[in-house]
Amino acid sequence: MAQQSEAVRQTRVDEAESMLRSLIAEYRRSGSHRLPPEKELSDQLGLSRTSLRAALARLQSEGEIVRRRRVGTLINRPGQRWEGRSWLAYPVDMILSLSEYLNAVGVDYTVQAVGIRRDPASEDTAIALGLSPGSPVFSASRLYEVEGEPAAFVEHSLPTVLHGRDVHIESLTEGVTTFLRDTEHIRVTRAESMFTAEAASGDLSRELQVAEGAPLLVMQARLYSEGSSPVTIGRLVFRPDVLCLVTTVSEDASPDAATGLGAMPLVKPLKDATTTADEEAR
């Protein structure tokens, strides 16, 4: 009798697992990366909570999903193989380019599109960089792919003259901090970042290969060397199902540290800055 009851239980778990796999496939096609809460799933699929939990545990052990307290059930990408089935976590409280981070963690990545343009600075860009409106600036855009998946679309603007010297930028397949340090011999000593969320649309949806409306993480960054004006400003857009952002706060942090902080204006996306290296060569 006990064996029969166990067989019935396993059958129900198998059925629940099959239903969940079908639902996960639908969510992936639509660009969604989070399953509904357990109660909603149970009602939606007509499953008992016991069978549902057992099936979810199976899927997590196989790496199909990740379950996190106070976050929910996240759907892994097919073939995802990060250690511990966790996301890549880019440490945004360090002066570390995305390329340097990806090299450090040892994942396969490529820079699939590189666009370099010399344009007159818009009013917003000029103010952010401490320049006169219309001053020439370099606008660079890159698309990072990690393990074959689009992970981040990165844009930077920097003056054509820094510290009294002309900037020579022909390609930017590594991070901008690496370029400034190794090519221009300018050391970035301070960074300011602001984080927002954005729904994918238009070019971003196509570049990052996500559905319209899919959530994206946006980091607005200003990098400083000498002086009060940044040497570059950037806008980094991440697919959170591929790469998330992490920060560490010390217990020594004091509320007094907030004194004097102000607002950081948003940097608009670069226009027409997605020219590929092949197009430039032509």
- Listed in sequence order, the residues at least 6 apart from 262 whose beta carbon sits closer than 8 Å to its beta carbon are none
DSSP bridge partners of 138 = 118, 158
What pLDDT, on the 0 to 100 scale, is given for residue 104?
Answer: 77
Is residue 30 domain-resident?
Answer: yes
For the beta carbon of residue 261, count every other beta carbon within 10 angstroms: 8
* Gyration radius (Cα) of the chain, Å: 23
**Burial class of 96 by CB neighbour count within 10 A (0 to 12, 13 to 18, 19+):** middle
CA distance 175 to 100: 7
Give the pairing of strands 136-146 and 109-120. Answer: antiparallel
Is residue 19 domain-resident?
Answer: yes
CB of 274 closer than 8 Å to CB of 203: yes
Query: Please, what's the b/e burial string for 179-206 (b: 16 or more CB within 10 A of its CB; e: otherwise)?
Result: bbbeebebebeebebeeeeeebeeebbe
Tokens matching residue 175: 């991070």
Is residue 80 domain-resident?
Answer: no
CA distance 130 to 163: 13
The residue segments making up the domain with residue 146 are 87-281
Domain termination residue (choose one: 46, 75, 104): 75
CB of 205 closer than 8 Å to CB of 214: yes
Of residues 268, 265, 25, 282, the one with CA closest to residue 128? 265
What pLDDT, on the 0 to 100 scale, is given for residue 81?
Answer: 42
What pLDDT, on the 0 to 100 scale, is given for residue 87?
Answer: 62
Asked if 133 and 50 sit in the same domain, the reply is no
Question: Which residues of the chain, if any, have pLDDT below 50?
Answer: 81-85, 261, 272-282
CATH assignment at residue 256: 3.40.1410.10
Is residue 81 domain-resident?
Answer: no
Asked if 35 and 165 sit in the same domain, the reply is no
What pLDDT, on the 0 to 100 scale, is given for residue 62?
Answer: 74
What pLDDT, on the 0 to 100 scale, is given for residue 60?
Answer: 78
CA distance 263 to 274: 29
Asked if 124 and 53 sit in the same domain, the reply is no
Question: What are phi and psi for residue 241, nearest 5 degrees?
Answer: -80, -10
CB of 243 closer than 8 Å to CB of 151: yes
What pLDDT, on the 0 to 100 scale, is given for residue 64?
Answer: 81
Asked if 104 and 168 sit in the same domain, the reply is yes
- Listed in sequence order, the residues at least 6 apart from 12 whose beta carbon sits closer than 8 Å to its beta carbon are 47, 48, 51
CATH assignment at residue 57: 1.10.10.10
